[in-house]
Amino acid sequence: MDAKGINDKLAARFGEKVTGAGLEAASPFAVVAAESLLEAAAFLKDDPELAFDNLMCLSAVDYPKETPPRFEVVYHLLSYKHGHTFAIKVHIPREEPRVASVEGLWGVANWHEREAFDMFGIAFVGNSDLRRILLPDDWAGHPLRKDWQDPDFYNGMHVKPTPQMAERAMGGEKIGVGPFDFTPPNAHMEP
Amino acid sequence: MSSETSAMGGVGGLSSPPTSKSGGGFTPTPRYDSGSADWHADALDVDEMVLNMGPQHPSTHGVLRIELKTDGEVVKAARPHIGYLHRCFEKHAENVDYPGVIPYTDRMDYVASMGNSLGYALAVEKLLGIETSPYVQTIRVIFAELQRIASHCVAVGTYGMDIGAFTPFLHLLRDREKILDLFEWTCGARLLYNYNWVGGLSHDLPDGFVKACRQFLREYDAITVPELMDLLISNKIFIKRTAEVGVCPVDLAISYDLTGPNLRGSGLPRDLRKDHPYCGYERFAFDVPVGKGQYGPVGSCFDRNWVRAVEMAESSKIIHQALDALEKMEKADVHEKVPKRVKPAKGEVYGRSEAPRGQLGYYIVADGTAVNPYRVKVKSPCFTAMSIFHVLAKGMYIADIIALIGSLDVVLGEIDR
């Protein structure tokens, strides 16, 4: 089934809960209201004509400049039975990021959701093991948010350049790598 | 050692964090988050013990730490801890331009760098709408398949070593070395190539490459493949050690997104090179091996490794055909389609390719204004393969855990990124 057919089927079942679509995109998607995510995901998985039995990828994207500021959680789905792919997105408010977990439908979602929680701080309600996965357990903050600032200290250790080093770097000298490197300001988030 | 003290070691033991005099934004948080309470020392039965495996254990193929809740020799529950090799790939990718991401992709799965950069280049090309020439595509296929052979050499070789067969490892590394020589001759690097560029390749093939590659394949087909089958795969000890261990039924494999040889080992003939061909794979004839369960249930550790071994022969078939096709082609400029400045219009793409370890996916979002990606997310096949580990490990013997980790063929660089 092509992307338009899948989107039509989804829209026919959920009506105005399907709030948008990008069928001309290189990887077509539909936007689903966050409160209907679980139903829509279950429908996509269980409907025999759609049969999305595989969750290829679950990712989160931060859009602080949109109105209202939001996170997007993107579910890339694949049907091994029919060979077609599709993506659904949910928009969740940036102030209170929470969305239902799809772990019950696709087992792999558990770790993907833990990663999104780790990097973006999105709470996946119903995830059985929502802990940090890649970063240390005592890490503070969520680094893939666009407004992330590198910390000055980590566990009491100074991890930013000293004023002397900063001065040399401002004079054009190349100072170190890693935490002592002056990374260019994030192009997407002007101060 | 009493079971309680070692259990304390497993959970972490350190209940209060070290306090720091220099504040500087340091907010004390619990050092170890033990997650569920049933792993705590107080919650264990008298016979239970929490055993730490890794992060320096040689059979974990990198820095992987696994907590095993054991009852004697039987594993009652397992909890993998990853992240020791986290190098912030996705954060880096947001701060460099599109072609600048490619060297970082090489460093994810460092055993199969060629496949990583190919997947990324294909995804960005899809975003930009670039179609590379058949000459470039054919070279990409040759290198992707050589890399697959090299990667499976390491996978099957180290797997044999994990469960006690040392010699096949040496034989396979000998052939991998020859492939690395071919790579080094072409692009100057042995492991981290930066070879597949957006829209082309960094270097054309050197003169005489086809002949040298044919020479390698002659030896490989005649010696290595039969040798591998005789020495390792049909070895009675190997079969006994693997054939009834770590059985993964196909529906579980799909639910946990196992891909590549792991999925095919479970009996589902799904290969992206056949189902959704890219780089002109549809022009080449090859078979997709599927686990048959010759010596036990389908989807065992044996099947996954048997699939890898047979795939090594199939890759050789593809390279033979690609070399033939290349000889009939006119040489083209491999930089012809490389854009001077990569700045895609606003949009997004999910590009996937069949890397040696399974389907590698890149989700790339472009905002249309910047020369760097807005977001790059990598779906790593090893990450998803590791996420099934705790399901398969339940009820196994500790010695079989070694066999299971190796058969999933994980590379921690790609899990942690």
Residues B371-378, mean pLDDT to the nearest whole number = 91
pLDDT of residue A139: 83
Give the containing element (helix H, strand E) for A92. strand A85-93
How many distinct structural domains can be found in chain B? Answer: 1
Of A157-171, B5-19, B261-275, the range with the lowest mean pLDDT is B5-19
Confidence grade of residue A132 (pLDDT, cut at 50, 70, 90):
confident
pLDDT of residue A165: 66
Q: Quote the CA–CA distance of A102 and A100 in Å, as a whole number.
A: 7
List all residues 6 or more positions away from B375 whose beta carbon is below 8 Å from its beta carbon.
Answer: A59, A61, A62, A144, B90, B94, B363, B364, B365
B40 within a domain of the structure (yes/no): no
B10 within a domain of the structure (yes/no): no
pLDDT of residue A180: 53
Q: In angstroms, how far is the first alpha carbon of chain B from the final one?
A: 37
Chain A residue numbers with beta carbons less than 8 Å from the beta carbon of B270 are 80
Which ranges in B256-397 belong to alpha helices (H)? 261-265, 272-275, 301-328, 381-387, 389-393
CATH number for the domain harbouring residue B281: 1.10.645.10
Using a pLDDT cut of 90, give the percent of chain A over it: 18
3-state secondary structure of B326: helix
- The C-alpha angle with vertex B119 and arms to B184 and B203, in degrees rounded to 5, equals 35
The full DSSP string for B253-287 is HHHTT--THHHHHTT----HHHHS--TTGGGS---
Residue B8 has pLDDT above 60, yes or no: no
Of A37-51, A172-186, B118-132, B369-383, the range with the lowest mean pLDDT is A172-186
Q: Which of B347, B365, B417 sits opposite A61 (nearest CB)?
A: B365
B213 within a domain of the structure (yes/no): yes
CB contact under 8 A, A110 and B387: yes
Q: How far is A119 from chain B (nearest CA, A)?
A: 10
CB contact under 8 A, B83 and A133: yes
Residue B240 has pLDDT above 70, yes or no: yes
Q: Which of B32, B95, B384 sits opposite A137 (nearest CB)?
A: B32
pLDDT of residue B121: 92
The structure's pTM equals 0.84
Q: How far is A56 from chain B (nearest CA, A)?
A: 7
CB contact under 8 A, A131 and B33: yes
Residue B143 has pLDDT above 90, yes or no: yes
CB contact under 8 A, A135 and B359: no
Residue B388 has pLDDT above 70, yes or no: yes
Q: Quote the CA–CA distance of B318 and B140 in Å, as a whole number.
A: 12
Assign a CATH topology to domain A3-125.
Beta Polymerase; domain 2 (3.30.460)
pLDDT per residue over A137-155, tens digit each? 878 888 998 888 878 777 7
The answer to whether B99 and B342 are in contact (CB under 8 A) is: yes
What tokens appear for A182 in the block? 């002056």
pLDDT of residue A69: 87
- Residue to substitute from A31, A58, A108, interface B, most B β-carbons within 10 A: A108
pLDDT per residue over B341-365, tens digit each? 888 888 889 999 999 999 999 999 9
Residue B36 has pLDDT above 70, yes or no: no
The full DSSP string for B109-144 is STTSHHHHHHHHHHHHHHHHT----HHHHHHHHHHH
Q: Quote the CA–CA distance of B84 and B281 in Å, as a whole number.
A: 36
Write down the residue that tokens 């929502």 correspond to. A130
ipTM > 0.85 (yes/no): no
pLDDT of residue A183: 46
Residue B4 has pLDDT above 50, yes or no: no
List all residues 6 or more positions away from B335 whose beta carbon is below 8 Å from its beta carbon.
Answer: B200, B201
Confidence grade of residue A161 (pLDDT, cut at 50, 70, 90):
low
pLDDT of residue B24: 45
Residue that wins the pLDDT comparison between A178 and B202: B202
Pairing of strands A29-32, A85-93: parallel
Using a pLDDT cut of 90, give the percent of chain B over it: 35
Pairing of strands B358-366, B196-197: unpaired
pLDDT of residue B55: 79
Q: Quote the CA–CA distance of A130 and A111 in Å, as a whole number.
A: 9
Residue B32 has pLDDT above 50, yes or no: no
Chain B residue numbers with beta carbons less than 8 Å from the beta carbon of A54 are 254-255, 257
Q: Quote the CA–CA distance of B102 and B100 in Å, as a whole number.
A: 5
B305 within a domain of the structure (yes/no): yes
Query: Residue A104's closest chain B neighbor by CA?
Result: B255
Q: Which domain holds residue B275?
A: 99-389+397-411
Average pLDDT of chain B is 85
B221 within a domain of the structure (yes/no): yes
Domain with CATH 3.30.460.80 in chain A: 3-125
B335 within a domain of the structure (yes/no): yes
- Residue to substitute from A78, A81, A88, A103, interface B, most B β-carbons within 10 A: A78
B66 within a domain of the structure (yes/no): no
Residue B150 has pLDDT above 90, yes or no: yes
The answer to whether B407 and B263 are in contact (CB under 8 A) is: no
Residue A21 has pLDDT above 90, yes or no: no
pLDDT of residue A174: 62
pLDDT per residue over B77-111, tens digit each? 888 888 888 988 998 898 888 998 999 999 988 88
CB contact under 8 A, A26 and B24: no
B207 within a domain of the structure (yes/no): yes
Residues B129-146, mean pLDDT to the nearest whole number = 91
CB contact under 8 A, A27 and B33: no
